[in-house]
Amino acid sequence: QSSPSLTCQSMEERTECLRRKIKYYFMNPCEKYHARGRIPWKLMLQIVKIAIITMQLVLFGLSNQMVVTFKEENLLTFKHLFLKDYVDGGMETYAVYRQADVYDHIDYIITQYGLLHNNTVGNHEYEKSGSSYNPLLLCQDFYRNGSIYPGSETFEIDAHVHTECLKIYPANPEPLRDMPENFELHFKRLLLVKITFAVMAINLQTVRYRELPDCYDFTVIITFNNQAHSGRMTVDLEMDVEINECKDWKVIGACKFTKLSAHWSAWVFLNLRLKDFLFSFHSFSCKKDLPDRDVRLIYNVGIQHPSLC
């Protein structure tokens, strides 16, 4: 089977040209190869494009997996660092029952916060405002006034909630009861004790996959919940994560591959669009005057690369 002719003079030739054009259009790549004797480069380029896109999707999935893993491991790390006698999987039963235990657990958190540099095996750091570290914030929520007498089954309570806070800087961590501010917990009226502090870290594991590391801002919130006043004060640790681009960075040997991958993706896309146009121009034209076609070369690489250098 020969390829369609470039010029068609008579009506019969035009009809035959159109017939060959339609027949050739519905051929599979093998039949087109036997008909024209040309290597199916378009199919090969499509396969290459699919392989490249698949590779980048896999890399993108691995990158997201590293982000999720890093956040989960940091949450577990903070529980072991700041919760006294914590055991994996024990948050549902983690609680305190005595006033002395509440003070001991709060003092333990304050002490561990001050010793963060010496204790952590990661690259955790205090958050800074200017040249000074941000403090740990200790707050208690309690009923404004109240007189409770379970023995006589009487009480008087002001349902308005009052919040009292204390700032503790990592350079001067002291036990709660030894602080000059005289911060006392009002257990009879106490609702919540909330400890909040910020820790920063860098996810360096992405360097192995030729990606720039991200900087993480962790806001750790430890809550002692006494709203039930049942004698059991539950303890919970949560964190909020903010992922930012690091300000000053230098990675040796990680950017060349990244740039090459992005430029290769753009080149493949443009090359495929151009060859598709040329293929249509030379293979399917039966007259010198071609009909108007909506030919568009789109320079739009639909692959977002997460770490251009």
Task: Quote the pLDDT of residue 208.
Answer: 72
Examine residue 95 and state whether it is found in any structural domain, yes or no: yes
297 pLDDT above the threshold of 60: no
Instruction: Band the pLDDT of 44: cuts 50, 70, 90.
Output: confident
Decide if 34 is inside a domain.
Answer: no
pLDDT of residue 291: 41
Residue 206, in any domain of the structure = yes
Q: State in Å, rounded, how far the first CA of the chain is from the last one.
A: 51
For range 112-116, the mean pLDDT: 92
Spatial CA neighbour of 190 closest among 223, 142, 237, 145: 142
Residue 200 lies in a domain: yes
Residue 305 lies in a domain: no
Pairwise pLDDT comparison (213 vs 262), residue with the higher score: 213
Q: What is the pLDDT of residue 212?
A: 78
In a domain, 44, yes or no: no
pLDDT in tens, 210-258: 677 889 999 999 999 999 999 999 999 999 999 988 887 666 655 444 5
> Rounded distance, CA 55 to CA 42, Å?
20
Tens-digit pLDDT profile for residues 15-35? 888 888 888 888 887 787 777
pTM above 0.85, yes or no: no
Q: What is the pLDDT of residues 172-195, one digit of tens each?
A: 777 777 776 678 888 989 999 999
- Asked if the structure places residue 261 within a domain, the reply is no
What would the mean pLDDT of 285-298 be, rounded to a whole number?
39
What value does the mean pLDDT of the chain take? 78
Q: Which domain holds residue 201?
A: 81-245
CA gap 115, 40 in Å, rounded:
66
**Least confident among 43-57, 113-127, 245-259, 293-307:** 293-307
Considering only CA atoms, give the Rg of the chain: 34
Total domain count, the chain: 1
Res 6 pLDDT > 70: no
Please indicate whether residue 70 or residue 10 has the higher confidence score (pLDDT).
70
**Bridging pattern class, strands 190-202 and 136-143:** antiparallel
The yes-or-no verdict on residue 272 having pLDDT over 60 is: no
In a domain, 76, yes or no: no
- What are φ and ψ of residue 233, in 5° steps? -100, 110
**What are the angstrom distances between the C-alpha of 158 and each of 145, 154, 241, 270?**
5, 14, 36, 72
Nearest to 29, CA basis, from 18, 38, 20: 38
For the record, the structure tokens of 109 come out as 């958190």
